[in-house]
Amino acid sequence: MRTREEIEKDMYALFVGGCQDRIMTIEEHKHRNTMLGKYREELDKLDMLEKTNTNNKIKDKK
């Protein structure tokens, strides 16, 4: 599984590279939205995994 930093770096890369300097095509816009959705899903899974690990640590301490 990728780290939070890697995912955020990829998300940032979608917004650089000239896409703000010109009008995006429909295909570019769809691709960016699709990739953002995938990266958000990865971040949600990572958050859930971190929360589960934290809850397990708390249970182990009790």
SS3 per-residue string spanning the chain: CCCHHHHHHHHHHCCCCCCCCCCCCHHHHHHHHHHHHHHHHHHHHHHHHHHHHHHHHHHHHC
pTM of the model: 0.74
What separation in angstroms does the CA of 59 have from each of 45, 46, 49, 54, 62?
21, 20, 15, 9, 5
Rounded to an integer, what distance in angstroms lies between the CA atom of residue 50 and that of residue 16?
Answer: 29
Q: For 24-59, how does the pLDDT look when each residue is reduced to its tens digit (9 = 90+)? A: 888 988 998 999 999 999 999 999 999 998 888 777
Pick the more confident residue, 22 or 2. 2
